[in-house]
Amino acid sequence: MTPELELHTTFVIDDRGRIRSTREPRPGRGPLFAIIRSFIGTAWAVRADLPNDLADEIARLARAEPRIEDLRAPPAHAARYVSCTGGRLGFSGPAFLFPTELETTSDVISVDDERLLERNFQGWHLGEIATGGAPVMAIAEEGHPVSICFSARCSDSAAAAGVETATAFRGRGLAPRVVAAWAFAIRASGRVPLYSAAWTNAGSLAVARKLGLRRYAAFWSVSE
């Protein structure tokens, strides 16, 4: 696994190596700057609309980042990235690798119709699963999904997990089961499953621990 794969799965990168948009079914503009640091390398990109001189200065700083030793530590030039862009700290958190062997359970189903999600989940639009959200793996009760894992962002080579459990069903260990089933399905499609979480998201970090995921990189960004 490389930071470059993580970067290119999270964002659409143009010919200049800049962020054109996020890789979501309904894409956004993306952060002003994003950097992914691992123990073996670093990948970064600035948003396409930043001036060339500013993009060059940020690239110079990113190339000078020292080898990471503590994934929790911010980039060495964090303050400069923020001041240069006039932005604020965006997403910050670890990126994980899935273990070679994944344990799945027989109670997880595949969902291909957004209408089945309407009772317990909001924000889904008709056609969203087919145009990037698939596979959507779920545990259902009374015929309606109560915990789901879906492709939040994807490329031809990899996909990043998005996971949600309806409030009334949290604390029952459902999320790790749907995430494992999703990762298994992504591997079956010939792609690499990716999982990340904010340092402040205790629930997502707990899912990673329960699945035995291994932290390999740190994601850090500057937003508007």
> 41: closest CA among 84, 92, 95, 99?
95
The predicted pLDDT at position 195 comes to: 98
Give the model confidence (pLDDT) of 143-183 as tens digits.
999 999 999 999 999 999 999 999 999 999 999 999 999 99
- 220 belongs to a structural domain: no
Exposure on the CB side of residue 72, measured as CA atoms within 13 A: 2
The predicted pLDDT at position 171 comes to: 94
Q: Which of 53, 69, 96 is the last residue of a domain?
A: 96
Give the model confidence (pLDDT) of 45-86 as tens digits.
999 999 999 999 999 999 999 989 999 999 999 999 999 999
Q: Which of 64, 96, 128 is the last residue of a domain?
A: 96
Residue 134: CATH number of its domain: 3.40.630.30
Q: How many domains does the chain have?
A: 2
Question: Are 92 and 118 in the same domain?
Answer: no
The predicted pLDDT at position 25 comes to: 86
DSSP class of residue 160 equals E
Give the model confidence (pLDDT) of 8-42 as tens digits.
999 999 999 999 999 998 899 999 999 999 999 99
Question: Are 139 and 173 in the same domain?
Answer: yes
Question: Are 122 and 202 in the same domain?
Answer: yes
Rounded to an integer, the average pLDDT of 116-120 is 96
Question: Are 206 and 118 in the same domain?
Answer: yes
Model confidence band, residue 1 (pLDDT cutoffs 50, 70, 90): confident
State how far the Cα of 193 lies from the Cα of 46, in Å rounded to an integer.
Answer: 24
Sheet holding 144-154, edge to edge: 42-46, 33-38, 214-223, 88-97, 192-196, 158-165, 144-154, 136-141, 109-111
> 151: closest CA among 176, 118, 178, 121?
178
Q: Which domain holds residue 10?
A: 3-96
Question: Are 115 and 211 in the same domain?
Answer: yes
The predicted pLDDT at position 218 comes to: 97
Question: Are 158 and 74 in the same domain?
Answer: no
The predicted pLDDT at position 17 comes to: 97
Question: Are 188 and 137 in the same domain?
Answer: yes
